A and B are shown apart, each in its own frame.
Chain A
C-alpha cells in the first residue's frame, strides 16, 4: 500500500480537526475572559473591593430647641435600649443552636452522613437546654424591665407581626419589581430572601436606666447572640407636659374663686416644635445615605430603615440645622488603614417663645378653666351651655416682633385622645395661630382708619354721622351693629374717629372704605401683611396629594390669608356689587381673611407707628429660611395716635370691649389688671357653619354637610403696656372659634393673658398677689 505523506492521512486530518475544535472552544473562553477582565474589569474590581471596606457609623446627636429663657423644648437624651435578636423572638435561634450542638457532638462526618430527618431529630433532643436559655432571657426582661408576662408577650407579638408585615410588603415590592423588569416567567418562581429586619435585633425595652443596661450587658455576655444593649438616643420634649396654677380671683364673676386652680396641660408648643418620625421615601430621596447614581456614601444622608426625621413644625423646617452628621470609622481590611470621621452634632435652635408663658396661656384656654366653654354670660346664640370651644392666642413683643407665646387649642397631644370623628371636627393638627384663617371682622377697623388718614381721604377733625345704615334709602343692608330692632333702631349719631373706633361704628368705616376704594384698601391690607404668610419659620413643603389625587409638593405650615385680587374686583364690578363689596371690607368682612398672628402683627405695626417688623419666632434671623419683612409704612402720625386712642376707648367706659353685662344693670369690666394700659378691639366675625356630621355621607366634613349656621368667631386683638410709660409693649390676639361676642368671650381670655404677662414678669403688677398663700376665704 502506498504510504501517504506524513500528516496528510485521514487519521492526521482527524487529529487536526479535533485540535481545531479545541481551539474554537478555547477561543470562546478567551473572549469571555477578555470581556470580564478588560471590558468589565474596573467595574468588577470595584465591586470586589467593596467587601474590603468595613464601615462603622458613629452616632451624632440632634440639636436642642430652646425657648427664649434657654429652656429645652426638644432635646436628645442619651439612653439605652434592650433589643432581642429576631431569631430569638421567633424561636429559630433555639433550633439552630441545638442543630449546631448536635453537629459538634456527633462530629462533622457523622453529621454529614445523616438524613435531614435524622438531623432534625438529633437537634430536637438538644432543644430543651437552649429553650432554657431563652426562658432565662425572658425572665430577666420581665424582672429588670418591670413588665409582666402578658406585656412582654404583647411586645414580642407586636415585633413579630410588624416584621412579618414589613417582609410581606418588601417581598411584594421585590416581586413586582422583578416581574416589571424581566416579565412574568413561570419557570422559576420568586425566591424571597431574609429582609434586614429579620436579621436584626429588635427593641423590647425601649429605655432603661444605666444600672439595668449594665445588668443586661452582663447577661448579653452570658447569653451570646441573643440580645443587644443598644445606645438609644431619644428625642424628648421635657416641657410638653406642665402643671400650671392659675389664679381665679380675677375671672368674670360666675367663674371667680379665691382658690387657685391647678391645670395639667399637655402638648405645650407641640404645634410649633413639631415631632419626629421614621424616615419616609421623600427624606431618602431628598438626601440619600447612599447616593444611587454614584454609590457614594453621604454621612449626613438618610438610610431607609432606622433613621428619623422631623415630621412637622420646627423639627421639620430646621431639619438640616438640627440634624447633625454622623461620623464613621472606615477600615480598609487589606491595607490596615483606619479613617475616622468624627460626628458633627446638630446645632441648637433658639426661638423667641417663652414656654412658661405658653403653658400658662394654654391653661387659660383649657376647657377646665372655663373661659373656653360656652357660659351664660357669653350669650352664645347657637351653642348650648358647656359646649367646648377651640381657639388660638398670640402674644408678640411690639418693639421686636418677637413671638412670646402662640397657643393653638386643642393641642396635638389633646388630639391624640380623640376618636377619628372628633378629630375631623376639631382638627387638632392645625396650628391655628398661623395656619387657620378667619375673617377679621371689626378688628380690622384701626387699619382702615390709619390707611384712610394716611391716604388723605379722611380728616381727623371730621365727624361722620351714623344713621344706622350706610345707604341712605336702604335700611336692611349695610347696617350698623347697633341699629337693631331690640335696641329700638338706635344710632351712634355723628362720631369722630376715636369714638367710632371705641364704639366700633360700622357706618364710619363703611364711609372710609368707600372713600378709599377697594383697590387701595386691599393694597393697604396687603401692606399690613394680609394675604401672604409672615414667614416666621414654620412653613415647609411635603410631597402629598392634592384634591384631584395627583402627587405634588404641598407648601404648608403657615397660611397667608386672603385679600381680593384684580379678578375678584373686576368680577365684583361687573356684577354691580362693587360699592357693597368695598364697604364691607371696611368692617372686616367679604373676601378677606387672616390668621391670629397676622392680627397681632398688624396691631404691633400700628403701635410702632407704621414700622414693619414682622413677627419673629426664630431668634437668629440669619438661619431663618426666609427673611421677614422690615420696612416702613410711613403712617400719618396723628392717625396712629387717633387709632391708639380709639383702641383705648374701646376698652374704656362706653367702649365695646369694656364690660360684660350679666343682666340689665349688672355688669363688670372685662379688663381688671392693675398697673397696665390696655388698647384693644373686639371683633365678632361671621363664621362658616359649624359642621358636626357628615350628613351628605361623602366621607368627609365639607360645605355640603348640614351644620349650625349663624355663629360668630370671637376676636380680641389688642396692645398692652405698663401704665407708667403709656407705650404699648405687647400685642396680643385671641380668637375663640364659634364663641360669639368678641368682648364677652375673647375679652376675658385676653384679660387673663395680661395677668399671665404680669405673672411671668413681662408687665409690672401693682400689688403682686399670690393666691396660693392666701388660701380659701
Chain B
C-alpha cells in the first residue's frame, strides 16, 4: 500500500517528504509464524520439568516457582512487545547504569539494608520485595551493548579491532568476578566469542586470542579466591578419579555425580529419588544441583530429555538469528543463545563432574525468581527479534566472502 503512495505522488520530493514516506519501509512486518515460539515452548517445557523436579523434595518451592514463572512471563511479554530497536538506542546508557550498579554493590560502606552480603559475597541489592542481582541485568545489557557496537562495523576483522570488544567484555566481567561470582563471570567470554564468530571476525584471530588466554591463565590463577581455587582443585582430582577430597572441597561434586549415576538409564522414580537426595545430603538440590535430581529421578533418559529441550530452545534461537536480516537482531539472538548455552553447560557440566562447582543456576529449571525473570527476559528478546521482519531495505550485514576469506 505504501509503495503505491510513493509512486502516485507527482510532485518532486523534498527531503522531509522522503524521510516521512520512507519510514513505513523501515517499519516491520510482524511475522507471527516464527521460530521464536519454539524458544518459548521449549522454555515453558523446561520450566514445567523444573517445577516437577523441585517438587520431588520441596513441594512448597515448586508452588512458589509457578508464581515466579507467571511474573517472568509477564516480564518476557513486556520485553517482546516493543520493537527491539528501542533497546539499541538505550544500550549505552543501560550498560553504564549496569556498570554503576556493579560498582555500587562493591563499595564497602554501603549500608547493609541496601547491599546485603551473603557468605562474604556482595552481589545483591535489596529491593524490599525481592533481591536484585545486577549481574543478571549485566548479562542482558552486555549482549545488547555488544550487538549495538558490532552491528555496522568491520574493524573487528582486524586483530587490533578486537581490543575494544574485549575491553567492553572485561569491564562487567571483572566487576562480577570481584563480587565474587566466578560462574557468571565465566559466561561473558563464550558469549563474546559466539557473537564475534557470527559477526564474521577472523577465526584465526579468535583462535589466537584463545591460545593467548590459555597461556595467560596460569598467571591469572593466583588472583582467584581461595574457595575458587579449592573447587578447581577438587575438579582436577575428581577428573583423575581421585577420591581424596570427596569429604571436603569435592563433597558437592561427588554427591552430584553419585546421584546422577544412581539414576542409571531410566531413573529411580520420585519417591526413591527424594530419599536418595535427602539422605545423601545433596546441597542446593532445588537450585544449582537440580540437574542431579532430574538425572536421579528419570535417569539418563531424563537428562537427555532436558538437553533435548535445550537443543530445541537453541535451535529456535539460531533459526531466529538465521532468519533475521537486521544485524543488531542477529547479534542479540546469537548472544542470547550463547549465554544460555554457556550457563546450561556450566551447570550441567559441574553436575556430571566436568566443570568446577560454581554457584550457577540451570536456566528455566532451577528454583529462583530473579534468575528466572532474567532468562525469560532473554526469551522475550528472542521473540521480539523473531517477530519483526524488516520489509525491504536491508543492508547485507556480516558478509565478508568477497574479502577472500574463503572458508569459514
Contacts and interface: CB of A to CB of B under 8 A. Distances in A.
> Do A and B belong to a common assembly?
yes
The list of the 7 closest CB pairs from A to B, nearest first, reads A44-B261, A334-B275, A41-B264, A48-B262, A45-B262, A36-B261, A37-B300
Contact of B341 (A12, A22, A52, A112): A22
Contacts of B262: 41, 44-45, 47-49
A191 interface: yes
A9 B399 contact: yes
Given A33-B352, A36-B261, A44-B262, A14 B398 contact: yes
A26 B315 CA distance: 13
B401 A10 contact: yes
B304 A30 contact: yes
B275 A45 contact: no
A693 B259 CA distance: 68
Contact of A1 (B304, B337, B338, B396): B396
Interface string B304-329: 10010001001000100110000000
Nearest to A114: B117
B295 A33 contact: yes
Given A36-B353, A38-B300, A334-B275, A29 B399 contact: no
A11 B300 CA distance: 35
Q: Mostly helix, strand, loop or mixed at chain A's interface?
A: helix
B116 A113 contact: yes
A32 B258 CA distance: 13
B330 to A, nearest CB: 7
Q: Mostly helix, strand, loop or mixed at chain B's interface?
A: helix
Contacts of B391: none
Contact of B198 (A15, A30, A34, A51): A15
B246 to A, nearest CB: 10
16 contacts: A1-B396, A7-B322, A10-B405, A15-B321, A17-B408, A30-B304, A33-B300, A37-B300, A38-B300, A40-B261, A41-B265, A109-B116, A333-B275, A334-B272, A334-B275, A334-B276
Interface in A115-149: none
Interface string A1-29: 10010010111111101110010011011
B147 to A, nearest CB: 14
A333 B271 CA distance: 11
B244 interface: yes
Contact of A47 (B117, B258, B281): B258
Interface in A38-72: 38, 40-45, 47-49, 51-52
Contact of B279 (A34, A36, A40, A333): A333
Contacts of A182: 242, 244
Given A7-B322, A11-B398, A52 B275 contact: yes
Contacts of B399: 4, 9-11
A38 B352 contact: no
B334 interface: yes
Contact of B348 (A10, A29, A49): A29
Nearest to A25: B345
Contacts of B259: 44, 48
Nearest to B355: A29
Interface residues of A, number: 46
B200 interface: yes
Given A36-B260, A44-B260, 7 more contacts: A4-B399, A15-B318, A15-B321, A22-B314, A37-B260, A45-B262, A48-B276
Interface residues of B, number: 62
A33 B318 contact: no
A768 interface: no
Given A29-B348, A34-B300, A51-B279, A15 B322 contact: yes
B119 interface: yes
B248 interface: yes
Contacts of A487: none
A32 B304 contact: no
A116 to B, nearest CB: 9
Nearest to A332: B275
A17 B206 CA distance: 13
B61 interface: no
A49 B276 contact: yes
Contacts of A13: 408
Contacts of B260: 33, 36-37, 44
B118 to A, nearest CB: 6
A36 B194 CA distance: 30
A4 B307 CA distance: 33
A32 B242 contact: no
Contacts of A193: 247-248
A298 interface: no
B228 interface: no
A9 B401 contact: yes
Contacts of B314: 19, 22
Interface in B367-388: none
A182 B279 CA distance: 31
Most A-side CB within 10 Å, residue of B295, B304, B322 = B322
Contacts of A333: 275, 279
A29 B198 contact: no
B354 interface: yes
A40 B258 CA distance: 9
Contact of B263 (A15, A17, A37, A112): A37
Contact of B398 (A10, A40, A178): A10
Interface in B239-267: 242, 244, 247-248, 257-265
B279 A18 contact: no
A29 B265 contact: no
B264 A45 contact: yes
Contacts of A334: 271-272, 275-276, 279
Contacts of A178: 244
A1 B341 CA distance: 35
Contact of A26 (B117, B258, B311, B400): B311
A51 B353 contact: no
A51 B280 CA distance: 6
B194 A18 contact: yes
B58 interface: no
B118 A112 contact: yes
A261 to B, nearest CB: 65
Contact of A37 (B265, B279, B348): B265
A17 B300 CA distance: 27
Given A22-B341, A33-B295, A113-B116, A14 B200 contact: yes
A49 B341 CA distance: 33
Interface string B188-207: 00000010011010000000
A550 to B, nearest CB: 33
B268 A11 contact: no
B299 interface: yes
A49 B322 CA distance: 48
B349 interface: yes
Interface in B33-89: none
Interface string A323-349: 000000000011000000000000000
Contacts of B311: 26
B397 interface: yes
Given A29-B348, A36-B261, A48 B280 contact: yes
Nearest to B247: A193
A44 B233 CA distance: 22
A29 B353 contact: no
Contacts of B244: 178, 182
Interface string B352-372: 111000000000000000000
A456 B321 CA distance: 120
B284 interface: no
